[in-house]
Amino acid sequence: MRILIVEDEKKIAEFMKRGLKEEGYAVDVAYDGEEGQFLARTNTYDLIILDLMLPKLDGISLCKGLRKEGLAVPVIMVTAKDAVEDKVAGLDSGADDYITKPFAFEELLARIRALLRKKGVPATTLLVDELTLDLVTHKVTRRGAEIILTAKEYALLEYMMRNAGKVITRTMISEHVWDTDFDTFTNVIDVYINYLRKKIDAGNSKKLIQTVRGRGYMLKG
C-alpha cells in the first residue's frame, strides 16, 4: 500500500519512511504543506500521515482542503501538541486518527492497519483460496507451507489479495505499490509478477495469479 508522509522535521520523516518501507509500504515524503497538497492531489495514496505544524500550509488547512475537494483517503494527524483542543481541531478538520509525538513506531503501524481495515479489510489476515497473508507478522503461507517474500514482493501480493477477483492494471499497481521514483516505462511490474508466480504458483496445479490479456493481472482463487 502507498503512504504519503507530510512532515517538516526531516529526521522524523526519514525515520517513518525507513520503517514503513521495511514493512513493505511504498512511501513518498513532503517536507511542507504545499508540497504535500500537490502530491496528495496528483497521486493515489492509501493513507496520509500529516504533521499539524507545517511551513507554507499547516496540516489543519491542508486536511480541510483535501476533504473539501472530496479526497476520502484516511489521514493520521501527527503532532507534538497533546492538548485536547488540538486533537479536536485535527479530527474536526477531517483527520481519521491522531497520534502525539513522541510515539512508538509499533503504535503507528497498529493505527495504520486499523484505518486500512476500515477501508474494507475486516481482519488482520487476508485469505484467497489456500493462500494466507498475515498483515501483522507478514507471514505468507500456501497450504500451510511458508513462502518467503522480499518487501516489494510482499507489498505487491498484499495489494493483489486486497483486490482478489478484480483486474488490476499496471497503472493501478504502480500507483499503490511503488513511489514517485518509479519509472512507469520499465517492465519491473512484470518482473515482480513473475517472481510471485514462481513462489506462489510453482508446484501447484491451481494457478492463482492470472494474466488478463491487454488489461493487467488478477489474483483469483
pLDDT tens for each residue of 19-39 = 999 888 999 999 999 999 999
pLDDT tens for each residue of 36-93 = 999 999 998 999 999 999 999 999 999 999 999 999 899 999 988 777 787 788 888 9
Average pLDDT for 135-160: 92
Cβ proximity of 66 and 92 under 8 Å: no
The residues that bridge with 77 in the sheet, in sequence order, are 50, 98
Cβ proximity of 179 and 27 under 8 Å: yes
pLDDT at 122: 53
For 1, counting Cβ atoms within 10 Å of its Cβ (0-12 exposed, 13-18 middle, 19+ buried), the class is buried
Most confidently predicted of 15-19, 83-87, 123-127, 178-182: 15-19
pLDDT at 155: 92
pLDDT tens for each residue of 101-118 = 888 999 999 999 888 877
